[in-house]
Structure 1
Amino acid sequence: MSPRTSAAGSLQKSAPVFSALGDETRLRLIALLCAGGALSIAQLTAGTDITRQAVTKHLQVLADAGLVRDLWQGRERLWEFEAGRLDEARRSLDTIAQQWDRALARLKARLED
């Protein structure tokens, strides 16, 4: 498999993560979960005008992307951040950055010749 094919596969695998993070509410939920550990929907909606039903839908999108997971503590459903998928997405962005750096270096070399 060529590096280009590998990079394309990595980006395709990370696309759901980038899509899930493309919403302001979901970004806020991720930030809260990163800062506060496992939280209930009541805790996630406290002090906001977002309904519990809306937060539940956003959390499901994040869960489908592998960014959060739910766990049960007694009768309470808690949500926590899963860093693994975000790390994969970061590595995809690093690959793109390296490709851009190489392309810009080639362009610079050609312009200087």
Structure 2
Amino acid sequence: MILTRGTRATGAVLCAVLAVTVAGWLVRDVRAVGDPGELWRYWAGYVDARPKVGPATSAIDVAMLVVYVVAAVAAVRSTVAAAALVATGVTTLAVRLPGLWNIGADGMDTDSPTSSGPAP
């Protein structure tokens, strides 16, 4: 499918917004941990990697940043960017949607008596 110039521009802008958002979280984590190597070790799952501040991101976020940048460039430069934009959207939903299911879970509520242990 061939997209119009306006549609491709909109897709590129949306991918750029997602990329900036993820980059902001990654910068926040690098600053909070202090050492990018320690953060990378934490993402890789090393047992001895225990940063002082728990990161809000994972290695998936680094991969998603690359996906967003590649999709934005493809949308700007290619007239057949529909496949890249659709694949980016599906990947984003697959990665981000499970996190939304946890928002209302009992374990996420820190004020409830059930989250801190059994009731007296």
Taking structure 1 as the reference length, the TM-score comes to: 0.40
